[in-house]
Amino acid sequence: MEYECEEQEEEIVFKEECLNGPLALKVDSSTGKVETCGSIRERAIKIATELKHMNVTPEDIIMVCVRLHPEQATILLSIFLLGAIVAPIDPEMTLTEMKETLIKLRPKVIFCDLRNAAHIERSLMEAKLYKQVHVIHIGGDPTSKKSLDSVLVKEPDISFQPTIIQDSKKKICLIIATQGTTGSPKLVCHSDYALTYQIYLHRQIILETTSRLLSFFPLNWILQVVLCCLCYITSIVKVLPSSYSERAIVRLIHDYRIDTLIISTKDCLKIVKHDSVNDFNLDCLKNIFIGGDISTPLEIVNIHRKINGARLIQFFALTEMCGTVASFVSESFDFMSPASTGKLMPGFKIKIGDLNTRVSQPPNTWGELTITGPSAMLKYFKGNIPSSIYMEKGYFRTGDLAEYDSQGHLYVLGKVTDLKETESTKFCLLEIEEILMDHPLVSEVAVIADNKDIIACVVKVEYSNLTVKSLEEFIEQNLAPQMRPTKIKILSEFPKTNIGKTRKIILEQNYLKVPIQRSIGNLSV
């Protein structure tokens, strides 16, 4: 049995709309500077013209190693207007990871901010590509030939026209790396159509009521790209934060009348517990997108109690689906389904496969989530991964343990490999994590397991005196015997991805004796 939401028929004209954008795109809260679409469009055309002079074609790859710089939107827009392939890559990669990525991608041009320039150029030398790749620095000496400023002082080409892709469903437009929480990151190829479909989903459904957007959550690259494009073709104003603190977030929401906030669940909980939440009027806040990891019903209720005028929106996204596939879109949060990630977006279909037989399951039955939709990936970049491993009759195998109810709400419990079975019961490691997070001195939890041990890795609240013994007593009182960890590790911090997700693969390598065997799908989210 499958569950689906019908695809919306929408004329996709993103590049044409780029030439006639609305008034404001973003506000830099540190300077108060407002960027209009006209000024960004002019600079994007200058950059696109310069890329043409470098003989960049629609088949060439341009790497963007810029995470939070105000010029990020300008650079992305210039590449899309030119019709080239954009590859946003985390600048914090290790030297070895960056070298391997460069050898795979062989980009024509790399944009990077000055902080990462030395790292990028060292990686290019290691990859023996230094003389073959143009590197453009953002910041630094404006007279340098490598500086973006030297490009932006030139006059714009008033006759410039964007490159229109003829076969938008097959041409690679975007290459995105997976997060690598449970394995090595993979490079995912998406079409121009897939990206545009996600832009219009956010425009018409997810962010339909948004006018001013603020994000303190280190977004994954897919969502960053979508938001940059979305803010350009709509009147949504993206406010760029200058600093991070609970009080700074609350003040920005008040001062700039922010109606939509994108933030991690953990950071949102810190805000609602902070005294400053009572010092400012937050009635303007209508939407809070929370995420990062699966949010528990208790966390959602605690947030809603403090900011009850806003709707809390969880969403489920996959790199292989080019972004969001399920979300809450109703006017108010559905407290009857607090653990749900929402309902499917238009055009997507899911099946829940039995873990042993692979037979499609009915509603309210747990199994492996498989999914397909209009923004599904084209392929893994230059990978030797057989499609039979990650695809099943046209559906992508996510490796996620999930179910959906009769109302269409999707529930994601964790990874299939996190499901443990004893003689008397089945349980997921996430259930143990939820219980341990209730301990007042526990800041973060990651539970890992093999066929011998269940190990609870814990980061304690700063300056607290949490001990293994006190945690063992808590576990004995709150967990059934078969769910109790066999070992406890109190760590100073967890290995994280660039958007703050715990890299369990590293913890497993460090503490488990039996290696975990994962399928391609287990590495996807």
Q: How would DSSP label each residue in 218-240?
A: ---HHHHHHHHHHHHHSSPEEEE
Q: How far is the CA of 175 from the CAs of 121, 165, 170, 499, in angstroms? A: 21, 16, 13, 17
Q: From 70, 315, 77, select the one nearest 202 (Cα to Cα).
A: 315
Q: Residues 40, 320, 269, 507: is their CA dihedral positive or negative?
A: negative
**For tokens 């806040």, what's the residue?**
285
**What is the torsional sign of CA 505, 421, 415, 301?**
negative
CA distance 347 to 371: 11
* Residue 327 contacts residue 341 (beta carbons within 8 Å): yes
Chain segment 475-516, per-residue pLDDT in tens: 999 999 989 999 999 999 998 876 777 888 889 888 887 555
Pick the range with the lowest mean pLDDT from 57-66, 150-159, 167-176, 486-495.
Answer: 150-159
CATH topology of 202-417 equal to that of 422-514? Answer: no
Residue among 251, 261, 265, 266 nearest 287 (CA): 261
Token digits of residue 387: 């499609």
- Which residue is it, tokens 């340098």? 144
Residues 6+ apart with CB under 8 A from 193: 12, 168, 169, 374, 375
CA distances from 48 to 79, 158, 159, 348 (A): 6, 12, 12, 34
pLDDT tens digit string along 276-294? 888 998 899 988 888 766 6
Instruction: Give the sign of the dihedral formed by CA 43, CA 226, CA 173, CA 91.
Output: positive
For residue 60, name the pLDDT band (cuts at 50, 70, 90): very high
| Backbone CA torsion sign across 174, 169, 81, 34 | negative
Band the pLDDT of 258: cuts 50, 70, 90: very high
Domain 202-417, architecture per CATH? 3-Layer(aba) Sandwich (3.40)
The C-alpha atoms of residue 519 and residue 521 are separated, in whole angstroms, by: 5
Determine how β-strand 61-65 pairs with β-strand 85-88.
parallel
* pLDDT for the residue numbered 351: 94
Summarize the confidence of residues 283-306 as an average pLDDT. Answer: 78
Question: Is pLDDT at 523 greater than 80 in this prediction?
Answer: no
> What gap in Å lies between CA 485 and CA 457, rounded to an integer?
10
pLDDT at 332 over 50: no
The separation between CA 37 and the C-alpha centre of its own chain, rounded to angstroms, equals: 25
pLDDT attached to residue 436: 92
Residue recorded with tokens 């964007």:
162
**CATH superfamily label, 422-514:** ANL, C-terminal domain (3.30.300.30)
Q: Which residues contact 430 (CB under 8 A, 6 or more apart)?
A: 294, 413, 414, 418, 447
> How many Å apart are CA 258 and CA 207, to the nearest integer?
13
| pLDDT reading at 304 higher than 60 | yes
Asked whether the beta carbons of 148 and 44 are under 8 A apart, the reply is no
pLDDT exceeds 60 at position 243: yes
CATH number of the domain at 36-164, please? Answer: 3.40.50.980
Is the predicted pLDDT of residue 329 greater than 80, yes or no? no
> Is the confidence at residue 33, as pLDDT, over 70?
no
Which comes out higher in pLDDT, residue 160 or 472? 472
Instruction: Give the tokens for residue 285.
Output: 């806040």
What are the structural domain ranges in the chain? 36-164, 202-417, 422-514
Over residues 113-132, the mean pLDDT reads: 92
Of 2-16, 87-101, 302-316, 481-495, the least confident: 2-16
Average pLDDT, the chain: 82
- Return the pLDDT at 11: 43
pLDDT band at 522 (very low <50, low <70, confident <90, very high): very low
Q: Residue 323: is its pLDDT beyond 60?
A: yes
Q: Which amino acid is at 255?
A: D
Maximum Cα–Cα distance for the chain, whole Å? 73
